[in-house]
Amino acid sequence: MKKIRLGMIGCGNRQIGHMYGVEEFPGAEVVCVADPIEERRKAAAARMGCSRLYRDHNELLDNESLETLDALIIAVEPTAHIDLETRVVKMGIPFLVEKPMTLNLDEARQIAKDVEASGLITAVGFQDRYLDLIEIVRDELSKHSPGGLVYGSWVGDIPSVWWWQKKSTSGGQLVEQSIHLVDGLRYLFGEPLSVYATASRGIVKPGETASAEYDTDDHSTVVYRFKNNFTATLVSGCYSRDVRPRNGLYITLDDMVLDYRLRSNLIITTAKETRDIPLRMEPIFSLDHAFFNAVLTGDKSLIRSDYPDALKTLEMAFAANRSMESGQVIYFDEKE
Ligand SMILES: NC(=O)c1ccc[n+]([C@@H]2O[C@H](COP(=O)([O-])OP(=O)(O)OC[C@H]3O[C@@H](n4cnc5c(N)ncnc54)[C@H](O)[C@@H]3O)[C@@H](O)[C@H]2O)c1
């Protein structure tokens, strides 16, 4: 069987997850890796058994082409995308890129246009779309007339990567982390009408409970209204230490509650019964394997969020950031 030849750009925390995805897929192999941090690219190459190592994405793209690889997995920090996907699209190489795809919306819009024009296979790391539990939620929603309230939460501590501590290098928690829930809302309830958001600081102490550079929001509250009569309140916080608050989406319908506990289980409650359904799959494998199969077969329908689709979620998250800064309601289309 022909294996797809993969290149990995960025060999940090997240790419390690994708390495498991490759190892679990007999039809894929990694042929080259790139990372400015020597020990990371060496460790990745040793683990994946490849001998072509590059100092960064430019060096990789200068030396590789569709002759030598079939697809790329890109997992770099949010500010490191400069020119990256633009070059990859021009070279016609299918790619999977981690969310947030960039912090530069203009750049993302141009890349989305170029991807659409070229018909290139792309995927974005919204792995929760591939969860069996989310499929069950979608199925239940399809049996109900639309409308209801949703409470979402992602509250925890500060991730260890250096770039997370500054809003200018991470985009803030909503754009970097809770964007998985923002995407979940879009996947479940469709396109938004408007957003209003607030944010606050003062709990986390830079230099004491975070790095001295910490300047991101400690918590935010975002209200998205959707065209199909759902309204969601999404809270995010990174001030919580030593405990694990319960996170996920709590969806209230006219005769049912869908309590999706983040990447763990789904509790469905009706007047007649309560069902607790555990997660049965590893989401990153499903995302990676959908992408690999799409590249192998050319079947783009296997991918649940490609670059142009993911741009809509990125726009939703950035609109919430704008509302946090201005105190204004942001409308996505015309006024309601
Ligand atoms: N889908 C998910 O659930 C999920 C989970 C964690 C992180 N992420 C996303 O993955 C991305 C990476 O996060 P991370 O935790 O791995 O960060 P990280 O800092 O651990 O790794 C990023 C790596 O990219 C390398 N890099 C930077 N510029 C590069 C370039 N020009 N060429 C090649 N390599 C370069 C860095 O040296 C670093 O090793 C972020 O966008 C993050 O939001 C997604």
Ligand 1: which of 15, 19, 35 to mutate, most ligand atoms within 8 Å of CB?
Answer: 35
Specify the pLDDT at position 336: 43
Whole-number Cα distances in Å, 17 to 6, 24, 39, 42: 15, 11, 17, 17
34 lines ligand 1 (CB under 6 A): yes
Residue 240 CA to ligand 1 center (angstroms) comes to 23
56 lines ligand 1 (CB under 6 A): yes
125 lines ligand 1 (CB under 6 A): yes
Residue 321 CA to ligand 1 center (angstroms) comes to 22
Residue 117 CA to ligand 1 center (angstroms) comes to 27
18 lines ligand 1 (CB under 6 A): no
Q: Residue of the nearest CA to atom 4 in ligand 1?
A: 14
Residue 167 CA to ligand 1 center (angstroms) comes to 16
Q: Which fold has domain 128-281+316-331?
A: Dihydrodipicolinate Reductase; domain 2 (3.30.360)
Task: In whole angstroms, give the CA distance from residue 67 to residue 86.
Answer: 19
Enumerate the CATH 3.30.360.10 domain ranges in the chain, comma separated: 128-281+316-331
Q: Residue of the nearest CA to atom 39 in ligand 1?
A: 12
Residue whose tokens read 């990153």: 284
Q: Which atom of ligand 1 is nearest to the CA of 100?
A: 41
What string of DSSP letters covers 76-99? --GGG-TTHHHHHHHHT--EEEPS
Q: Residue of the nearest CA to atom 8 in ligand 1?
A: 14
Enumerate the CATH 3.40.50.720 domain ranges in the chain, comma separated: 4-126+284-304
Residue 9 CA to ligand 1 center (angstroms) comes to 9
Low-confidence ranges of the chain (pLDDT < 70): 1, 334-336
How many helices (H) and strands (E) the chain has is answered by: 11, 15
Residue 329 CA to ligand 1 center (angstroms) comes to 32
Task: In whole angstroms, give the CA distance from residue 253 to residue 137.
Answer: 11
60 lines ligand 1 (CB under 6 A): no
**pTM to 2 decimal places:** 0.97
Specify the pLDDT at position 156: 97
The token pair that represents 111 in the structure block:
């890349």
Q: Which fold has domain 4-126+284-304?
A: Rossmann fold (3.40.50)
Q: Which atom of ligand 1 is nearest to the CA of 37?
A: 37
- Identify the H or E element spanning 30: strand 28-34
Task: In whole angstroms, give the CA distance from residue 217 to residue 85.
Answer: 29
Q: Residue of the nearest CA to atom 1 in ligand 1?
A: 125
What string of DSSP letters covers 272-323? S-EEEEE--S-HHHHHHHHHHHHHHH--GGG-SS-HHHHHHHHHHHHHHHHH
Specify the pLDDT at position 334: 55
Residue 98 CA to ligand 1 center (angstroms) comes to 8
Specify the pLDDT at position 1: 67
